Amino acid sequence: MTNRILRRPEVEYLTGLSRSSIYLRMQQGTFVKSIPLGGRLVGWSEQAIQEWIDERIAESDEAI
């Protein structure tokens, strides 16, 4: 997998989280930190987002 930088709409789509949930979880330290791209632009590492998703799936499997 290539390590692309994803913008917020794609992160929202992949995770199912809203914009406010993403930023709240970042503030709480429970979500991937954004990468500054210049000015007010930020993005997220595709690999880090996929790892976060995989961790959520693993946690749900353990709870069963």
Where are the chain's structural domains? 5-63
Q: Where is 19: in which H helix or E strand?
A: helix 19-28
Asked if residue 52 lies in contact with residue 34, where contact means CB atoms within 8 angstroms, the answer is: no
pTM: 0.89
pLDDT digit string, tens, across residues 36-47: 999 999 999 999
The tokens describing 13, both together, are: 């789509």
| pLDDT of res. 1 | 55
Angle CA(37)–CA(47)–CA(9) in degrees, nearest 5?
Answer: 55
Average pLDDT, the chain: 94
How far apart are the C-alpha atoms of 10 and 28, rounded to whole Å? 21
Cα–Cα nearest to 14, from 48, 59, 40, 41: 48
